[in-house]
Amino acid sequence: MNWVDKVRIIRILLRQMYDHAIENGLDHWKSEEAAVTVGWPNYFDVLYDQDEPTQVEIYSYVFGPNRVHQFHSVDVALDVVRQWHKTEMERVGW
């Protein structure tokens, strides 16, 4: 699976988590919830062509320990979001 597909899965999982949380009584959130940004290092930080993003940022006031969650790869971000998803989908009520 390529990085684009992984980011797509991250966005789907986040959507499912927020839908579930709202359906179960979540009544507080911020306007930037579930924003996902991917990035690559600048010219001076890369000594070779980098095909995959080396930075992933997910804004989530609701899920995770911080508002802004930064990851060094799409794979790590996906693993963490899968953990959040599992926890949220097992939750009953907010």
**pTM of the predicted model, to two decimals?**
0.89
Q: How far apart are CA 79 and CA 49, in angstroms?
A: 25
The residues of the chain scoring below 50 in pLDDT are none
For residue 80, the model assigns a pLDDT of 98
Output the pLDDT for position 52.
84
Say what the pLDDT of residue 14 is: 97
CB 74 within 8 A of CB 1: no
Closest CA to 81 of 10, 2, 18: 10
pLDDT for 40 equals 87
- Enumerate the domain spans of the chain: 3-42+52-90
Q: What pLDDT is recorded for position 11?
A: 98
Among 9, 38, 34, which Cα is nearest to 21's? 34
